[in-house]
Structure 1
Amino acid sequence: MTTQSPRTAADVRREHLHKYVAWITDACRAPGTRSALRAGLRRDLDHVRPMHRIVAPWLPRHRHVPETEERAYYLVASMIADRPRYTFATEDDTDDTAEEGESVPGPEAAGEQPQATDAPSGSVADDLGSVAADRDGQFEPAERWGRSLGYCLAQAVVEGPGREREMRISAAEARLHLLTRQSAAGLHRHLPATVRHLRQTGTDVDWAQLMEDLIAWPVSSGSISRRWLQDYYQKTDENRNKKNDQEDENDLLNDAP
C-alpha cells in the first residue's frame, strides 16, 4: 500500500497559480475582459485600473504581498490576454457578445478559496514545488520545476525549422541573456516582447512556472537565471547531438555497399 506525501505550502501555492492561469485564460474569451487585461502591458500597478476587478480577488490574503508578487499576477494576466481573439474560442463559446462592463466572477466561482491558498511564513523562493493538473482539473505533486523560460526559448529554436515562423538561435540567446541580466522592473518591461515572439513561433509558455520565477526574482534572480540558461543550453545541445547522430547514421547508410 502506497501513501501519498502530504501537500506542502509550495504545492498549495502552485495549485493556486495553476487555477489562476486557467481561470484567466478562460475569462479572456470575453472581449471586454481580454481588452482590460491586455491594456495593462508594460504599465505599473497604479495605471491598470480596469485590471483590478479581475486580478485583485486572486491575490493572496492575510499576509503582506510584495509589489513584485502583485506585478507577477498582473503581468502574466496581461500577457495571456495579448493574443488574437480566435485563439481563446471554443466550440461552445457563446461569450462573444460580452461588453466592457461585464461582470467577471472571482476565484470562488472557480471553486477556489483565495484565503486558504496563502502560504505560511516564508518566501516562494524558499521552496518552489510544483503541481500538475490532471484531466479532471485536480492537482497532484509532480516534478519540482515546470518548463522554464529558457527551456521554452530552446523549444522554439529546436522546433522552429519548417514552421511558418521560427526563432533563430542567435535571437533566442540574445533575448535570454538580456532577460537574465535584468532587475525585476527590467524583466517586467522586456518579457512581453519575448513571450509574444514565442507565441508567434507556436511555443507555449508555462505560465504558472513563469509566475513563480517572477515572484521569486528579487531574492533568487541568480539561481533562476542559472536554471533558465542551463535549461536552454541542455535542450539545444541535446537537439544538436541528435542531429549529429542522425547525420552519422545517414553517412554509414550511404557508404554501405
Structure 2
Amino acid sequence: MLETLQKSAITAGRAILDIYNAGPEITYKPDCSPVTDADATAERLILADLAEAFPDIPVIAEEAVSAGHVPEIAGTSFFLVDPLDGTKEFISRNDDFTVNIALITNGAPVAGVVYAPALGILYAASQGKAVKAVIDDTFRLSDETVIGCRSCGDRMVGLASRWHNSAETTAYLKEHGISDYRTVGSSLKFCLLAEGIADVYPRFSRTMEWDTAAGDAILRAAGGETLMMDGTPLTYGKRNQKDDSDFANPWFVSRGKP
C-alpha cells in the first residue's frame, strides 16, 4: 500500500509544481480560506489513484468534503487526503507546502505520506517504520533513510505554525522554557519532529484531520506522539461533534520521544 501512496503523492506533487511555476488561479472558500487550481488538480489525481488501487476504502478529502461529498466511514478504515497542505505557503511562493495522504484504522493514523514537492523531500511511514527520501528532478525516489525522534535534552527546540500562531502557543513555549523555536508551514512540522530536528509542536489554533493525519502517522512511527489536552492521543474520524464541525481537531501537542 505505501508504495501506491508514495507514487500518488509524487504524481500530485508534480502537477502542483507545474501550476506553481506557471502561476496558480486563486479563489476563496466561504470561510475566506484560499484555494487554487493546484488543490483541485492534485486531489483529482489522488482520488483516481486510490479508487483504482483500493476501491473498498473510503476517502475523506479536503476539497470533496468542502463540496459536501462525505462517504460513510463508521466501522472501517479510511484515507484522509489533503492534496495541498499549506496553500498560503504555495501562494506566497514559500516552499513549505506538502501533499498529505494517510490511512486511518480504529481512529489512529497507521500509514502516511508527506511529500514536499518544491523541496524534493518525501516522508513516509507504515508498520511502525518512518523514512525520509529524496525525490530527484525526474520525480524518482532515492536516498531513502530510516528516521526517528531524538531523546530530548535540557534545551528543547519548539515548532510553531507560520500562519496560525497564537497567544496560547507563545504562552506554552514560555511556560516550558522553550526560547529556541522556529516557524514552519504545513505538515512538515510533524516530520521535523520525526526526523529528530525539533522536540515539540504545540498547536492551539484550528486544524482539520486532513492537515495532521499523514504527518502524525510519520511522527508516531518515528517514536513520537500527538496528545490532546487531556493527555490522550489525538483521534481521527471525528463526526457529529457537539462544539465543532466534522473532522475538526481540538488543540494538541505533538512531541518526539517523551
Higher relative contact order (CA 8 A, sep 6+): 1
TM-score, normalised with respect to structure 1: 0.36
- Which is strand-richer, 1 or 2? 2
Task: Return the index of the structure with the highest Cα Rg.
Answer: 1
> TM-score, length-normalised on structure 2?
0.36
